[in-house]
């Protein structure tokens, strides 16, 4: 049979205008950093420098916090709630109007396929602003009493896997509830946050309501430790989440932490196998596996193991890896050299501990950071690849015989962010869901997100929820 060939379908980059150098966004303006320092941000698909980005030091963070405090006490907390809502609606509409520009920029800076940035990240980011805009004047129904009050100035630190979407998850509820913001994007993916700063200007958001300071971990720590910050909202690794929790212990700062995961995706023998295979692929290979709620531990009922694996390998052989700007690409570039090294280290450990590796046959481009979609079979619960978050396109396959065993294995992890259950029987799905210690449980699907649905974890996966009424409540205090 002749091979079906795809013609290249490259998205044009003409829509984005990347500056050589970006400053900090403080008090409604772009200002040069007091640190005088800039660092490069690269395109991980070809390692070319896209731009230089300012590195904020503690003086810069202090200026941003003061701007946020001024905007909070003079403007934002005094504004009628319905007026605040109008700004959020305006931002949401501008995000929709400029969606293509955001999607292309996200793909260039992050390495994710344009199909995902265009169809998932940016539409969902706009949806978060629309959803929270509607809440702004209805906060008495958020479950925090009749007259809920904002915290004040919120410090927000986000990761590189969904840069613009994580910004929306953080900024939209904070603004809807009347807080002002100092936000730090991840050091490898600052560009869409800086484009969002332009959107704030375009929407004529009052100066200082949103401040964006770029930099790495030290800048994040300056935000966390600043005495003028009333609450921290963080998404990132469990390791840094623990550091933040210990830094703010004993202070009055509130916190929501959305951390790592090692989700079980459970396939019962009565599941629709072809659909489950699609769900497995979506669960672990979506966004190169750079997903905290990824279905990275496949738990498959023993009697269907061989059939599932055979179909999974056929499906994986058709995954297209390559130029993220090509509209036919399924798997793009790994976000950074450091992340690629981490993935390789854990994959090597998987082999050394006795699991069997299979990688989809695909040519990896010569430049940039890439990893072929990979599965490990013969994995036991003690293997590092079954316990540690790989945060890459690597699936560990384990088996079970009874539903009880599936639940026990699924819960045998320090994490508890998400899980998937595949079965034709609703009763089995509900039985499983009530026993799984995970914040989000998908039934016969995976990686579905909606602004109205709370998201967050148990155990080392974090504190609190984001999205929905619960996420909103996390930005409010009861009036007394």
Whose Cβ is closer to ligand ADP: residue 157's or residue 229's?
157
CB of 205 to ligand ADP, least distance (A): 22
Site residues for ligand ADP, 221-250, by CB under 6 A, read 221, 224, 236-237, 240, 243-244
Choices 70-78, 125-133, 179-187, 280-288; region in contact with ligand ADP by CB under 6 A = 179-187
Phi/psi at 250 (5° precision): 85, -5
Q: CB of residue 41 vs ligand ADP: minimum separation in angstroms? A: 13
Please confirm, yes or no, whether 292 is among the known catalytic residues.
yes
Buried b / exposed e along 289-303 (16+ C-beta atoms within 10 A): bbbbbbbbbbbbbee
State the DSSP code for 474. T
Cβ proximity to ligand ADP, 220 vs 393, nearer residue: 220
Please choose, from the candidates 159, 121, 154, 155, the residue with its C-alpha nearest in 3D space to the C-alpha of residue 235: 159
Which of the following is catalytic: 55, 200, 292, 388? 292
Is 389 catalytic? The answer is no
Name the nearest CA neighbour of 154 among 186, 125, 176: 176
Binding part of the chain for ligand ADP, among 73-81, 155-163, 306-314, 442-450 by CB under 6 A, reads 155-163
Which of 90, 98, 184, 383 binds ligand ADP (CB under 6 A)? It is 184
Task: State which of residues 18, 75, 99, 216 lies at the interface with ligand ADP (CB under 6 A).
Answer: 216
Select from 61-69, 123-131, 153-161, 200-208 the region that touches ligand ADP (CB under 6 A). Answer: 153-161
Q: What is the smallest separation between the CB atom of 161 and ligand ADP, expressed in angstroms?
A: 7
Closer of 157 and 333 to ligand ADP (Cβ)? 157
Question: What is the number of alpha carbons within 13 Å of residue 356 lying toward its C-beta?
Answer: 4
Which residues make beta-bridge pairs with 300?
A: 267, 399
Q: What's the token pair of residue 56?
A: 């904020």
- Residue nearer to ligand ADP on the CB measure, 157 or 284: 157
User: Judged by CB, which is closer to ligand ADP: 323, or 461?
Assistant: 461
End-to-end Cα distance, the chain: 73
Using the CB atoms, write b or e for 18-54: b if 16+ within 10 Å. Answer: beeebbbbbbbebbebbbeebeebbbbbbeeebbebb
Stretch of 181-189, 356-364, 393-401, 464-472 contacting ligand ADP, by CB under 6 A:
181-189
Does 340 participate in binding ligand ADP (rule CB under 6 A)? no
Residue with smaller CB distance to ligand ADP, 224 or 299 = 224
Q: Which candidate in 187, 258, 388, 460 is catalytic?
A: 258
Minimum Å gap between C-beta 390 and ligand ADP is: 11
Tokens standing for 390? 């790989």
CA 288 vs. chain centroid, Å, equals: 12
By beta-carbon proximity to ligand ADP, the closer residue of 58 and 237 is 237
Task: Give me the least distance between CB of 189 and ligand ADP, in Å please.
Answer: 9
Using rule CB under 6 A, residue 255 touches ligand ADP: no
Size of the site for ligand ADP (CB under 6 A): 16
CA distance 162 to 121: 7
DSSP H helical segments within 230-336, as ranges?
Answer: 238-248, 273-285, 305-316
* Nearest residue to 232 (alpha-carbon basis) of 4, 26, 32, 464: 464
Instruction: Give φ, ψ of 235 to 5 degrees.
Output: -125, 130
Give buried/exposed letters for 321-348 (b at 16+ CB in 10 A, else e).
bbbbbbeebbbbbbbbeebbebbeebbe
Q: Which of 113, 152, 178, 220: binder of ligand ADP (CB under 6 A)?
A: 220
- CB-closest chain residue to ligand ADP: 220
Among 33, 159, 322, 332, binds ligand ADP (CB under 6 A): 159
Backbone dihedral angles phi then psi of residue 52, each to the nearest 5 degrees: -105, 140
Q: Which residues are catalytic?
A: 258, 292
Binding site for ligand ADP (CB under 6 A): 157-159, 184, 186-187, 216-217, 220-221, 224, 236-237, 240, 243-244
């Amino acid at each position: 049979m002749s091979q079906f060939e795809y013609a290249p379908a490259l998205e044009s980059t003409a829509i984005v205008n990347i500056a050589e150098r970006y400053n900090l966004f403080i008090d409604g303006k772009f200002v040069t950093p007091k640190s005088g320092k800039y660092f490069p941000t690269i395109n991980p698909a070809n390692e070319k420098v896209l731009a230089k980005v300012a590195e904020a030091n503690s003086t810069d963070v202090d200026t941003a916090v003061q701007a946020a405090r001024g905007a909070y006490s003079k403007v934002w907390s005094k504004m009628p709630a319905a007026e605040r809502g109008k700004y959020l609606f305006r931002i949401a509409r501008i995000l929709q109007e400029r969606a293509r520009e955001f999607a292309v920029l996200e793909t260039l800076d992050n390495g994710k396929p344009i199909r995902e940035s265009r169809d998932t990240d940016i539409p969902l980011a706009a949806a978060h602003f629309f959803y929270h805009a509607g809440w702004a004047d209805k906060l008495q129904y958020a479950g925090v009493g009749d007259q809920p009050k904002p915290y004040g100035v919120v410090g927000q630190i986000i990761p590189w896997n969904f840069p613009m979407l994580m910004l929306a998850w953080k900024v939209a509820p904070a603004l809807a509830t009347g807080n002002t913001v100092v936000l730090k994007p991840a050091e490898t993916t600052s560009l869409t946050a800086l484009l969002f700063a332009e959107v704030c200007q375009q929407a004529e958001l009052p100066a200082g309501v949103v401040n964006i300071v770029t930099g790495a971990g030290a800048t994040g720590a300056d935000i966390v430790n600043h005495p003028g910050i009333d609450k921290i909202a963080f998404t990132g690794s469990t390791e840094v989440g623990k550091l933040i929790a210990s830094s703010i212990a004993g202070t009055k700062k509130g916190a929501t932490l959305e951390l790592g995961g090692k989700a079980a995706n459970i396939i019962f023998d009565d599941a629709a196998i072809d659909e489950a295979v699609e769900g497995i692929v979506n669960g672990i290979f979506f966004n190169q596996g750079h997903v905290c709620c990824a279905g990275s531990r496949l738990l498959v009922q023993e009697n269907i193991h061989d059939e599932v694996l055979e179909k999974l390998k056929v499906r994986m052989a058709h995954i297209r890896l390559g130029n993220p700007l090509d509209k036919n690409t399924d798997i793009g570039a790994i976000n950074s050299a450091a992340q690629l090294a981490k993935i390789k280290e854990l994959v090597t450990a998987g082999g050394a501990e006795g699991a069997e590796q299979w990688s989809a046959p695909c040519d990896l481009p010569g430049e940039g950071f890439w990893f072929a979609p990979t599965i490990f079979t013969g994995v036991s619960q003690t293997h590092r690849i079954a316990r540690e978050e790989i945060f890459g396109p690597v699936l560990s396959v384990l088996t079970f015989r009874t539903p009880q065993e599936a639940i026990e294995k699924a819960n045998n992890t320090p994490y508890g962010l998400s899980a998937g259950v595949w079965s034709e029987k609703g009763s089995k799905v509900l039985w499983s869901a009530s026993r799984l210690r995970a914040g989000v449980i998908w039934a016969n699907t995976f990686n579905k997100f909606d602004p109205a649905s709370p998201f967050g974890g148990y155990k080392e996966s974090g504190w609190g929820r984001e999205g929905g009424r619960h996420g909103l409540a996390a930005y409010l205090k009861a009036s007394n």
